[in-house]
Amino acid sequence: MKCLQCNKNNPQNALFCGGCGTPLRVSVVPDSTGSFPELPMVDFVTSVKRSFSNYAIFKDRSTRAEFWWWFLFAAIGATIFGILGAATRLPLEPIFSLATLIPGVALGARRLHDINKSGWWQLLWIGFLLIIPIVVILVWATKRGDVGPNKHGQDPRQAST
């Protein structure tokens, strides 16, 4: 059985993905409103694993939880490696930032795809001295994604039938 989140092939009788821990057996019976139930939210570790394993996938969609857990990981990592780098006089923080740059940009593109925006909108971060682009990107990052499929793929919060 193929995992919908990380695309890992799992044994047919598996209940959870061996790669990312996502439940594989989710009810695909519509609820009383006629919509399909949402998948469980990703946790911190799953988000970081998924971001590194999908580091070069700029299409498809990612949830808010996945994006913000990655953001927290990157902020904590940069802080820790910045402190360690200052103590040891080694460039640890820039090395960490380079290691997380491509996975972060790919995740940002997938997050924007979840609200049906192009991943190229991330270029607004280049105008980091301008407050309006920063506010726009942050508002979009906190916005709930489109329910159901959009032009960028299936809804990552809903089980596929």
Distances (CA, A) of 20 to 3, 50, 79, 109, 150: 9, 7, 26, 21, 24
The residues of the chain scoring below 50 in pLDDT are 27-30
What pLDDT, on a 0 to 100 scale, did the predictor assign at position 11? 79
Q: What is the pLDDT of residue 155?
A: 78
Facing residues of 9 across strands?
2
Which tokens hold the place of 86? 């200052």
**What b-and-e string marks burial along 87-99, b requiring 16 or more CB atoms within 10 Å of the CB?**
eeeeebbeebbee
For residue 78, what pLDDT is reported?
A: 97
Predicted TM-score (pTM) above 0.75: no
Whole-number pLDDT of residue 29:
47
Q: What is the DSSP letter of 5?
A: T
